[in-house]
């Protein structure tokens, strides 16, 4: 980084990306995709509602685990940054847009799945479009382009799963296989980025801490 | 020799850039500080790629000029040093940017 050219735009992007690019968001995201892989199986024993609802406490636990890792592992290595007004406004806008999109996502998903008239292919279209919009916005606002790729894979997963189901008889519209693989891929990317981050940013030793207390 | 004198006359018309910011390492530090509200020593060291001593020396110079403010605290028994651009430092960086644009904008092709 020290060899790079100096630019205000680049500095802004560099700081923002380095604050989020530790792999933890990927790990959190993989827990969301996991629901699409496992819920269809669970629905046989738990029913449609509880097979999805059971993931709320699981997401809660993953969220707490991620927050703890960030607090005790990442922050001492990464340091702390408070963003400027422009970035804060962008993050606030992103939070609101994602909240609205998620509500729309939920309503459209329920309408599509509980409407027996439309074909399976048509049912997936609003879901796929919403996933693509949400992931594109996340990639843009958080400055992490791979989220767009995740969105493409996720949206395409609905159609690939249905194709596998109709042509090869894969169970549960192919979701366990397609989204299971996607969960593993996103999780591994997250783990790889987390390990790389920890390797590249070792913890400060006692001597450095004392030095910072005195001179930093 | 005539060319040299012409050059010196031209250079004499150039606006003076702030030498404190103009040094590459301090320019890098000021640029990072300009885009954030505040940043701690560890994060700044990580993004600039500087050594502890080097960064500390540059920060001291910027603090002495009134361009940055440094506040120390302890978070969970560990020292934490937050650095922030002062209003004076932010204005100095804007002036530096304008001066450099003027200098480079006036260069012949």
Query: What domain count does chain A have?
Result: 1
Residues of B in contact with A19 (CB under 8 A): 43
Cα separations (Å) of B28 from A8, A81, B33, B44?
Answer: 9, 16, 9, 10
Count the neighbouring beta carbons within 10 Å of the beta carbon of residue B35. Answer: 22
The ipTM estimated for the assembled molecules is 0.78
Residue A3 falls inside a structural domain: no
Burial category of B26 from C-beta neighbours within 10 Å (exposed 0-12, middle 13-18, buried 19 and up): buried
> Inter-chain contact A216–B78, Cβ cutoff 8 Å?
no
- Interval A100-115 mean pLDDT: 73
**Interatomic CA distance for residues B52 and B24, integer angstroms:** 17
Domain hosting A132: range is 8-201
The CATH number fitting domain B18-102, selected from 1.10.8.590, 3.20.20.10, 3.40.50.150, 1.10.10.10: 1.10.10.10
Element (H, E) at B38: strand B36-40
Residue A147 falls inside a structural domain: yes
**B79 confidence band (pLDDT: 50, 70, 90):** confident
pLDDT of residue B4: 47
**SS3 category, B43:** helix
Q: Which of A194-203, B50-59, B72-81 has the lowest mean pLDDT?
A: B72-81
Residue A211 falls inside a structural domain: no
> Are β-strands A81-83 and B68-75 bridged in parallel, bridged antiparallel, or unpaired?
unpaired
Average pLDDT, rounded, for chain A = 83
pLDDT (tens digit per residue) in A155-209: 999 899 989 998 988 888 888 999 999 999 999 999 999 999 999 888 876 656 6
pLDDT of residue A105: 73
Sheet strand arrangement including B36-40: A81-83, B36-40, B78-85, B68-75
Contacts (Cβ under 8 Å, ≥6 apart) of A208: B52
Count the neighbouring beta carbons within 10 Å of the beta carbon of residue A153. Answer: 19
pLDDT of residue A40: 84
Q: Of the candidates B27, B28, B37, which has its C-beta nearest A84's C-beta?
A: B37
Count the neighbouring beta carbons within 10 Å of the beta carbon of residue A65. Answer: 14
Q: Which of A59-73, A113-127, A162-176, A191-205 has the lowest mean pLDDT?
A: A113-127
**A2 confidence band (pLDDT: 50, 70, 90):** very low
Q: Of the candidates B28, B47, B52, which has its C-beta nearest A18's C-beta?
A: B47
Work out the minimum CA distance from B49 to partner chain A, whole angstroms: 5
Q: Which of A23-27, A146-150, B98-102 has the lowest mean pLDDT?
A: B98-102
pLDDT (tens digit per residue) in A16-28: 888 778 899 899 9
Does pLDDT of B10 surpass 60? no
pLDDT of residue B3: 47
Work out the minimum CA distance from A42 to partner chain B, whole angstroms: 43
Provide the sign of the torsion angle of the four alpha carbons A57, A88, A81, B75, taken in this order: negative
Count the neighbouring beta carbons within 10 Å of the beta carbon of residue B22. Answer: 14
Residue A107 falls inside a structural domain: yes
> Inter-chain contact B32–A85, Cβ cutoff 8 Å?
no
Q: Which of A112-126, A172-186, B35-49, B60-74 has the lowest mean pLDDT?
A: A112-126
More confident residue, B109 or A82: A82
Give CA torsion, residues B69, B74, B76, B77, to 10 deg.
150
Residue A16 falls inside a structural domain: yes
Residue A216 falls inside a structural domain: no
pLDDT of residue A177: 93
């Amino acid at each position: 980084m020290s060899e790079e050219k100096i630019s205000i735009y680049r500095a802004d992007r560099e700081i923002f990306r380095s604050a989020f690019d530790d792999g933890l968001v990927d790990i959190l995201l993989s827990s969301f995709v996991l629901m699409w892989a496992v819920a269809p199986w669970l629905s046989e024993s738990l029913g449609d509602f509880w097979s999805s609802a059971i993931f709320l406490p699981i997401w809660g636990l993953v969220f707490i685990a991620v927050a703890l890792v960030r607090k005790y592992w990442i922050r001492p290595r990464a340091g702390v940054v408070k963003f400027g007004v422009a970035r804060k406004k962008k993050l606030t806008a992103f939070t609101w847009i994602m909240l609205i999109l998620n509500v729309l996502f939920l309503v459209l998903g329920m309408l599509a799945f509980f409407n027996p008239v439309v074909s399976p292919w048509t049912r997936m279209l609003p879901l796929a479009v919403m996933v693509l919009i949400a992931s594109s916005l996340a990639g843009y606002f958080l400055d992490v382009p791979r989220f767009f790729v995740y969105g493409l894979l996720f949206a395409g997963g609905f159609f690939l799963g249905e194709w596998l189901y109709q042509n090869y008889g894969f169970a549960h519209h192919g979701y366990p296989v397609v989204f299971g693989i996607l969960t593993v891929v996103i999780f591994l990317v997250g783990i790889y980025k987390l390990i790389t981050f920890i390797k590249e940013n070792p913890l400060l030793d006692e001597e450095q801490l004392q030095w910072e207390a005195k001179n930093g | 020799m005539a060319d040299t004198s012409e050059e010196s006359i031209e250079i004499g018309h150039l606006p003076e850039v702030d030498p404190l910011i103009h040094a590459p390492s301090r320019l890098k530090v000021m640029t990072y500080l300009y885009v954030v509200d505040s940043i701690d020593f560890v994060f700044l060291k990580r993004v600039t790629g500087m050594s502890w001593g080097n960064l500390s020396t540059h920060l001291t110079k910027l603090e002495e000029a009134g361009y940055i403010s440094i506040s120390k605290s302890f978070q969970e028994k560990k020292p934490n040093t937050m650095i922030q651009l002062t209003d004076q430092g932010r204005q100095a960086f804007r002036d530096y940017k304008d001066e450099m644009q003027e200098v480079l904008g006036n260069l012949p092709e």
